[in-house]
């Protein structure tokens, strides 16, 4: 459980009854977005209140009437998912700003301008979002928000999601180190060790990070690696 001073109220009103739960604001929002978090880890007390400020607990009759159970975890799950989480203005502002950054970063990494085949800079994406008056719903996950954002941006910003298949050849002196780093940076399709100790592979990466990927190859091979675009995958 969390310290009481870190908790905010999650409130649900239904069928003429009111229920309150003391929750961690960050964890409760993430839970609403679909993250797997144990309810016990996000509450300050294993109690459902009618009025948390007075310490008045909800009656078994009220719980059964609305949730068809008196089980704390079953009722708490519904309160967090369907109720209102009472965030301060600053908490809400910070969470929305963080969520907006994630949406921008995802689009910048995975999408390109089809007119130039280059990624859109994050600043350009943010400006277009402001121009399109994109609303960031705190309780939606990043995937949902990206879909809504891209739909809103298309009249303003030419945008397309695609992947690139790239063949890479790493000289023997750098192959061992490169293996782990490339596996962590790209989706591996094929790989093969050559008789001279060099390593070749075919990988997939989001089109928006081509420059970042080439910089990685240059860094780990000191400029001696070879890369070749095979094709773009839409």
Quick one: 72 and 111 in the same domain?
A: no
> Does residue 9 share a domain with residue 81?
yes
pLDDT over threshold 80, residue 234: no
Q: Classify burial at 19, counting beta carbons within 10 Å of its beta carbon; exposed 0-12, middle 13-18, buried 19 or more.
A: buried
Q: Which pLDDT score, from 0 to 100, does residue 231 have? A: 74
What is the pLDDT at residue 232?
A: 63
CATH number at residue 204: 3.30.70.240
31, 62, 85 - which closes a domain: 85
19-61 residue pLDDT tens: 999 999 999 999 998 899 999 999 999 999 999 999 999 999 9
103 and 143 part of one domain: yes
Q: Are residues 136 and 79 in the same domain?
A: no
Q: Which domain holds residue 156?
A: 89-160
Residues 75 and 99 placed together within one structural domain of the fold: no
Side-chain-side CA neighbours of residue 219 (13 Å): 8
Over residues 114-161, the pLDDT tens digits come to 998 888 999 999 999 999 999 999 999 999 999 999 999 999 999 998
Looking at the structure, tell me whether residues 95 and 154 fall in a common domain. yes
Here the CATH number for the domain that contains residue 147 is: 1.10.10.900
How many whole angstroms from its chain centre is CA 157? 22
Residue 183 has which token pair? 């596996």
- pTM (2 d.p.): 0.74
Spatial distance between the Cα atoms of 135 and 154, rounded to a whole number of angstroms: 15
Indicate if 127 and 186 belong to the same structural domain. Answer: no
Q: How many domains does the chain have?
A: 3
Residues 8 and 47: beta-carbon distance below 8 Å: no
Close Cβ partners of 135 (under 8 Å, ≥ 6 residues apart): none
């Amino acid at each position: 459980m969390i310290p009481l001073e870190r908790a905010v109220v999650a409130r649900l009103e239904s069928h003429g009854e009111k229920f309150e739960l003391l929750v961690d604001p960050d964890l409760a929002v993430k839970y609403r977005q679909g993250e797997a978090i144990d309810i016990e880890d996000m509450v300050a007390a294993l109690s459902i209140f009618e009025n948390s400020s007075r310490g008045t607990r909800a009656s078994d009759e009220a719980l059964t009437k609305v949730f068809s159970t008196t089980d704390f975890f079953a009722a708490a799950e519904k309160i967090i998912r369907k109720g209102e989480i009472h965030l301060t203005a600053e908490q809400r502002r910070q969470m929305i700003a963080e969520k907006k950054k994630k949406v921008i970063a995802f689009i910048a990494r995975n999408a390109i301008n089809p007119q130039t085949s280059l990624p859109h800079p994050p600043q350009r994406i943010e400006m277009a979002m402001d121009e399109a008056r994109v609303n960031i719903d705190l309780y939606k996950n990043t995937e949902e928000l990206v879909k809504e954002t891209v739909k809103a941006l298309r009249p303003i910003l030419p945008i397309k999601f695609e992947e690139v298949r790239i063949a890479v050849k790493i000289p023997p002196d750098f192959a061992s180190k490169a293996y782990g780093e490339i596996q962590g940076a790209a989706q591996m399709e094929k790989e093969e060790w050559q008789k001279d100790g060099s390593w070749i592979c075919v990988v997939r990466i989001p089109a928006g990070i081509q420059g970042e990927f080439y910089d990685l190859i240059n860094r780990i091979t000191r400029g001696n690696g070879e890369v070749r675009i095979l094709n773009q995958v839409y």
